[in-house]
Structures are given as structure tokens and as C-alpha cells.
Amino acid sequence: MTPAAPLVYLVGAGPGDPGLITRRGIECLAAADVVVYDYLAAPELLRHAPAGAERIYVGKRAGDHTLSQAEINRLLVERARAGNTVVRLKGGDPFVFGRGGEEAEALADAGIAFEVVPGVTSAVAAPAYAGIPLSHRRLTATIAFVTGHEDPDKPESGIDWAALACGIGTLVFFMGVKTLPAIASALIGHGRDPQTPAAVVHWGTTPRQRTVTGTLADIAERARQAGVRPPALVVVGEVVRLRERLNWFERRPLFGRRIVVTRAREQVSDLARRLSALGAECLETPAIRIAPPEDFGPLDEAIAALAATDWVVFTSVNGVDFFFDRLEAAGRDARALAGVKAAAIGPATAARLKSRGGIRSDLVPETFRAEAVVEAFRREPLAGRVVLLPRAAGARPVLPRELAAMGAVVREVEAYRTLPEPTDPAELIARLEERAVDLITFTSSSTVTHFLDLLPPARREALLAGVPCACIGPITAETARRAGLAVAVEAPRYTIEGLVAAILAWAA
């Protein structure tokens, strides 16, 4: 995918919360052959780039520069001249202390076409997430953004400290943690009241956010005692007083909780998104993947025999999807189920059945497990009735065994398989070693089994010692307990909503 122009997009990734990137930024990522990204760009954003796109990390941290700015400029020019669509993904906004201007100059000098995609700057977003409005009619009408780390090669400071100290209501300093004592001293020395409120916001807009408040007189010492390190912003002004009333982000019920999500890659984001919205920091570690059966023959034969089928029982969303995919592959649609009754375990499965085929479940079990389906069927005449079960390979035998005991002719077919996901466990293991995991979530027995396989057998017990887990229901919980895991949360309602609610109750 290589359009004639522009060849390079300078894209603002936003301040850390991946939801704050612009739609245009996502469109550019989707068209990228090469993504050159920063330390402050949320890793989740790389998923918007094609799987085959080259990803090059050029992050800069204090004392740790992967590439110099000159080398980054050359890299952009080289990749563009090779005919690639290049996305330079930069934290915040490219043109607000992001050195995007220097990169744009290098591209212009080389005759490379480029486009600038603005981003949400951390100067605005981090204070907002800390409950600090930068302007307020009662408090200030002026705002200034200032670098806390000027170019060391400049012969003298370009900052007019006297004007800042007495002429601007709200001051926001980028990269000012290390120089915070000097910043406070300069402002006080040029006439700013030492009792002016001040705040330092660390990792703003992310679940790692931490805010330290004080006054110009003591903020440097407070930040030092709290161990605040870059990346962080410094806010100075009367507006900081509003944080006590307006702090919304850090008061969310799961704020600061570090939760591992182990669902299949196709489904992991849904649970992670719900938990993140409640303040959790989610480490997505897919333990399983959903795959087609080795042979579609039995499922296709069962679909061909629907006219002689009395019931179809769907036990999962995946079973619905694979069933209807094969139905459509055969050139048929939901009309093939005319006269066939349908049962679905759980509201998510019932909703997917309705959306894929426009079919409402004829049987609704009281709880969302196989045993409840068996109980519900006891009210149905099953002797001699043909019941089709399109479900996962290796599923629990309770349902077909009990239905057969009631006289049904059970046709169980493999609709899909649950396989281990080849996930790199390095980050997970590092977090477990650091004791930086508060909860591990499991949504099926297979996620438990394959998650454990990600860990080195000899170290598994030590890594998981004392780490609680949350399970979607009793079957999953029993699998976890048999594996020696500490089950702290067992959802009484076996749905993602029920699991989230149970986690909230545990956290409270």
C-alpha cells in the first residue's frame, strides 16, 4: 500500500490513553508500511498497523536514547525514499515540544512529502485527568506551556522568567521533574508567591497516573519524597486547588489495579476495555485462540440434515459464529432452521444467535452452564428427538450424556477448537517477578490450562504465589483450584458483565 504522496505522516499519538488518538491517526496507521514510534506512544496503538508493517522503536528516556534525533530524521527519509508509507508515531502532539518541527524540516529538505496529524497534547490531557482545569473564569485567563528541559547547546535560557512568574495565571512545564527545584526557585525569585499551588502529574491519562500536590515552596521536596520520575508534567497556578473536588480519574473503583486478561485474542479487548474504563491497568495475555475444526465435514453434514433435526443447542458465541459461517458457506441462511427449536446458554450466546440469524432462544436456562440446560430440558419431550450440539472440541460431556439419558438422539459435532495462543510471556513473567499483578482473570477452563503453560514449570508455583485470580463461574474456578491457584473472585453470574461486577465487589 504505497500512495504517491504523502509518504510520511507525523502522527500525534496522544498522551498515553490509547483512546485519545484521533481517527485520522488510526487511518494513517492502517495504511503504514513502516511505523517509527516513541517511548510515550501507547503500545496498543501499534495494533492499528497492518500485521506485516515494520515497527521501529526510537524511544527516548532520560539517559537512554535509542537513536539520536539526527538518526531518526535520516531513518524517516531513508524509509520514505524506499517507497514506504511511513508513520512517525509521537507521544502527545508532534508540534508541541515533540521535535516534530525538526523532523518536518528534515523531510522538507529531502523533498519528501509529509502530513502532520495533530494529537492531544499531554499539557491539556494530563491535568484534565488529574482534575485540574487549566483555565477557570474565577481564577485565571492566561495559560503558558513551557519546556522544563531546554536545548543544552543554547548559550542562554530563552525563558522569560519574570514574565512567567507574574504575567501568566497557569503554567505547565514539560519534562520538568529533574529541574523542578530550579523551576520553583526561578519563579519565586522573580516574584511568584511561594504559596502558589503546584502539582506534578506522572504518567498522566494512564492507569499508572500519580499526582502529587503542594506549593511552589515545597512541591520539589514532595515530588522527591514520593519518588516521582519522568515522564511527568508540572502545573503551577490557582487552578490546582480545584483538584480536590474535580479529581475524577484517580477515584475510579479499579484505579491502580493491575489485572491480567487471558481471553482469546479475538475477545480479550472487550473485557480489558471494561476493566480499563473502571481504572484498571490491563495486561492482555491471550492464553487461547479459537480455531476451525480440523475437518468441517461433520458440521457440514449436520447442517445438511437440519430438516430432520428438532433442536440445536448453542453453548457459546463461538459455536454460533462457526455454525452460521458454515450455513452461509453452504449457500443457506436462517430459513434452514425453520421448524427447528434453538437453545442458547447465556445472554451473550442468545444475543449472538439473534444478531446472526434473527432467532430467539426457545429455551432459557436459569443459570449459564450445562447443568442448567439439562434441567430446563426436563420440561421438554425429548424421547426420540434429534438434538444437535455444535460446540468446541473436548467440551464437558455432561450435556450430551444427560440429554441422551432423557431419550434424545444427540448429535455432537465439533464446530471449533480452543488451542494455545503462542503468546510471548516475557512481560507477564517480569510483572509476576516484580509482584506487580493484583489479579488474573479466567473466562474458561481452557484459559486456565493454557495460561499455566505460558509459565516455566519449575518457576510456576513461585511466580503465582499469593496472586489472586477471578473466574467467570464454578467450572472455571474448580479448574483453577485444582491447578493450585488462589481463587479470590467467582462470578455468581457467568457472563463478562457478571465477572466485572464480581471484580468490583472484590476491589471494594
Residue with cell 425429548: 382
For residue 432, which phi and psi values (nearest 5 degrees)?
A: -65, -40
Check if 341 is active-site: no
Three cell numbers, residue 466:
499469593
Instruction: Determine contact, residues 387/408, Cβ cutoff 8 Å.
Output: yes
For residue 145, which phi and psi values (nearest 5 degrees)?
A: -100, 130
Instruction: Determine contact, residues 143/32, Cβ cutoff 8 Å.
Output: no
Q: What is the DSSP letter of 363?
A: B
**For residues 166 and 155, what is the distance between their CA atoms, to the nearest angstrom?**
25
17, 33, 38, 93: the active-site residue: 38
**For residues 448 and 45, what is the distance between their CA atoms, to the nearest angstrom?**
28
Instruction: Determine contact, residues 292/298, Cβ cutoff 8 Å.
Output: no
Residue with cell 502529574: 201
Of the candidates 43, 28, 44, the one whose C-alpha atom is nearest the C-alpha of residue 86 is: 28
**For residues 23 and 65, what is the distance between their CA atoms, to the nearest angstrom?**
29
Burial zone of 12 (CB within 10 Å; 0-12 exposed, 13-18 middle, 19+ buried): buried
Rg (CA), the chain: 28
**For residues 34 and 194, what is the distance between their CA atoms, to the nearest angstrom?**
49
Check if 1 is active-site: no
17, 33, 90, 175: the active-site residue: 175
**For residues 13 and 35, what is the distance between their CA atoms, to the nearest angstrom?**
12
For residue 454, which phi and psi values (nearest 5 degrees)?
A: -70, -20
Secondary structure element (H or E) that encloses residue 410, with its range: strand 409-420
Provide the 3-class DSSP secondary structure of residue 183: helix
Q: Measure Cα distances from 328 to 336, 340, 341 in Å.
A: 10, 17, 19
Beta bridge partners of 144: 171
Check if 175 is active-site: yes
For 268-296, the three-class secondary structure string (H helix, E strand, C coil) is: HHHHHHHHHHCCCEEEECCCEEEECCCCC
Instruction: Determine contact, residues 160/228, Cβ cutoff 8 Å.
Output: no
Three cell numbers, residue 153:
547547546
Provide the 3-class DSSP secondary structure of residue 332: coil
Please list the active-site residues.
38, 60, 175
